[in-house]
Amino acid sequence: MTDQTSSSCGRFAPSPTGPLHFGSLVAALGSCLEARARGGRWLVRMEDVDQPRCKPAHAKAILATLDAFGFAWDGAVMVQSARSERYREIFEQLKVLGAVYPCGCTRSELAGAPLGSDGAPVYPGTCRTGLARGRSARAWRLRLEGDVAFDDLVQGRQHQHLPHEVGDCVLWRADGLFAYQLAVVVDDADQGVDHVVRGADLIHSTARQIYLQRLLGLPTPQYAHLPVAVDATGAKLSKQTLAAPLDVRNPVPALFAAAAFLGQNPPPALRRLACTDFWRWAQVHWNLNQVPRCSSQPVKENV
């Protein structure tokens, strides 16, 4: 952990549903190096708002892995599961604004809806004008209106027509938990995060997050969405696809591969040096402009 202070701030926000893998390392490395290149702080946040899928043991293991790989973060680790009252405070503001409404639709009822840009069903607005007779609220949705465009520092100009490509999204879930889209917006604002470097699999969430930021009068960070690491079949490396966990006993090969994946062209001799040598080289040579302008790419070597 470091004591560095700066007005600039980035973050890495894993979900503690399992061990870190190579895809996680790519996001962590890119976000950390970009924050340090800006002379800024780099935070770690545990996105365990989906509490049924998250375990404290996984959170502990993630922090141990980051430490073994030479990552140094600033300040205390924010934990979403401890922030329900803060999310409720913001949710109540949205209710006063008339920006959210109760929804009684089930997943099975939405299964036939057209799919949006993120692969999820686009909500057809069934409950927008009120719950049908005999229906009770299962969740609360955010009214999404109009278009949002932004310039991504890696992927370029992005544009999304929210009603047609996303549909009103859930902010308060049927199981009584607040949804990721609300939590991430509140957390980034409260922590002063002004640049978000993360995987391109989350780029389709960005427009609705910007919409929510504007609605609440919160600042919008700069965004940079890194290519997602995929296997030989094109499947994203993830806990669900049983991606191999990172080897904490020998971190340099994976760090080297992650830097190469991000287009940084690390010298081959770096493979044989210590972890501190890798970080010394990486912080001097990091260049976001060298990151490949694609949404995904295969991992070229075993890590």
Instruction: Report pLDDT for 187.
Output: 98
Instruction: Report pLDDT for 133.
Output: 80
Predicted TM-score (pTM) of this structure:
0.93
Instruction: Report pLDDT for 144.
Output: 97
Q: Is the pLDDT of residue 4 over 50?
A: no
| pLDDT tens digits along 162-173 | 999 999 999 999
Average pLDDT of the chain, as a whole number: 93
| pLDDT tens digits along 171-200 | 999 899 999 999 999 999 999 999 999 999
Instruction: Report pLDDT for 76.
Output: 97
User: Any idea which fold 84-181 has?
Assistant: Rossmann fold (3.40.50)
The CATH classification of domain 9-81+222-298, taken from the options 3.40.50.620, 3.40.140.10, 3.40.50.300, 3.10.129.10: 3.40.50.620
| pLDDT tens digits along 81-136 | 999 999 999 999 999 999 999 999 988 888 888 888 888 899 999 999 999 887 88
The helix-helix angle for 251-261 and 22-37 (nearest 10°) equals 70
Q: Is the pLDDT of residue 52 over 60?
A: yes
Separation of alpha carbons 99 and 102, rounded Å: 11
Q: Residue 75 has which token pair?
A: 């300040």
pLDDT band per the 50, 70, 90 thresholds, residue 5: very low
Instruction: Report pLDDT for 302.
Output: 60
Please determine whether the domains at 9-81+222-298 and 84-181 fall in the same fold group of CATH.
Answer: yes
Please name which of 264, 189, 275, 137 lies closest in space to residue 11, comparing C-alpha atoms: 189
Do residues 87 and 93 lie in contact, with contact meaning Cβ atoms separated by under 8 Å?
Answer: no
Instruction: Report pLDDT for 1.
Output: 38
Average pLDDT over residues 2-21: 82
Average pLDDT over residues 252-263: 98
Stated as kind and residue range, the H or E segment containing 12 is strand 9-12
Instruction: Report pLDDT for 272.
Output: 92
Q: Where are the alpha helices (DSSP H) in 53-177?
A: 56-68, 84-97, 107-110, 162-165
Do residues 122 and 165 lie in contact, with contact meaning Cβ atoms separated by under 8 Å?
Answer: yes
**How do the domains of the chain map onto residue ranges?**
9-81+222-298, 84-181
Separation of alpha carbons 182 and 171, rounded Å: 6
**Kind of pairing between the strands at 147-152 and 156-161:** antiparallel
Compute, in degrees rounded to 10, the torsion defined by CA atoms 30, 259, 71, 294. 20
Number of H helices, E strands in the chain: 9, 12
